[in-house]
Structure 1
Amino acid sequence: MKPQTLTAELLELDALNAQRLIAPLCELLQDAVHGGASVGFHAPLDTERAQAFWEAVIDALAAGERRLWVILVGGQVAGSVQLEPCTKENGRQRGDIMKLLVHRQWRRRGFARALMEHAQNEARAMGLRTLVLDTEVGSAAEAVYQALGWQRVGEIPDYADLPDGSPVATAYYYLTLKALA
Structure 2
Amino acid sequence: MTSHIKQLTSLSQYKVQLTDLLFLCIKSGASLGFKTDVDKPQLATYWEEINTQLKSRIFFGYFIHNTLVGCVHYTRCQKQNGSHRAEIEKLLVHPQYQRQGIASLLMQSIEREATKQGIELLVLDTQTGDKSEYFYQKIHYTKSGEIPHFVSDNNGVFFGTSYYFKILLPTSQINKTASDEASLIT
**Which TM-score applies when normalising by structure 1?**
0.91
Shift of the alpha carbon at 1:46?
Answer: 1.4
**Corresponding residue to 1:66 among 57, 64, 67:** 57
- Structure label with greater radius of gyration: 2
Aligned Cα RMSD in Å?
Answer: 1.2
- Alignment length (residue pairs): 172
Residue matched to 1:20? 13
Q: Does 1:178 align with 2:169?
A: yes
Q: Does 1:99 align with 2:90?
A: yes
1:33-52 CA distance string (max 9 Å, x none): 11111111112221210100
Residue matched to 1:131? 122
1:104-161 CA distance string (max 9 Å, x none): 0110100111111111111011001111000011222112211111110011111112
- Do the aligned partners of residues 105 and 88 (structure 1) sit closer, same or farther apart at CA in structure 2, a change above 3 Å counting? same
SS of aligned partner of 1:45: coil
Q: Does 1:48 align with 2:41?
A: yes
Shift of the alpha carbon at 1:30?
Answer: 0.1
Gaps of 5+ in 1: 1-5
**Which TM-score applies when normalising by structure 2?**
0.88
Which amino acid letter does the alignment assign opposite residue 5 of structure 2?
Answer: L
Alignment partners' CA distance in 2, 1:60 and 1:33 = 22
Whose helix fraction is larger, Structure 1's or Structure 2's?
Answer: 2
Residue matched to 1:3? none
Alignment partners' CA distance in 2, 1:168 and 1:148 = 24
Gaps of 5+ in 2: 176-186
The answer as to whether partners of 1:71 and 1:115 remain within 8 angstroms in 2 is yes
1:156-175 matches, cutoff 5 A: 156-162=147-153, 165-175=156-166
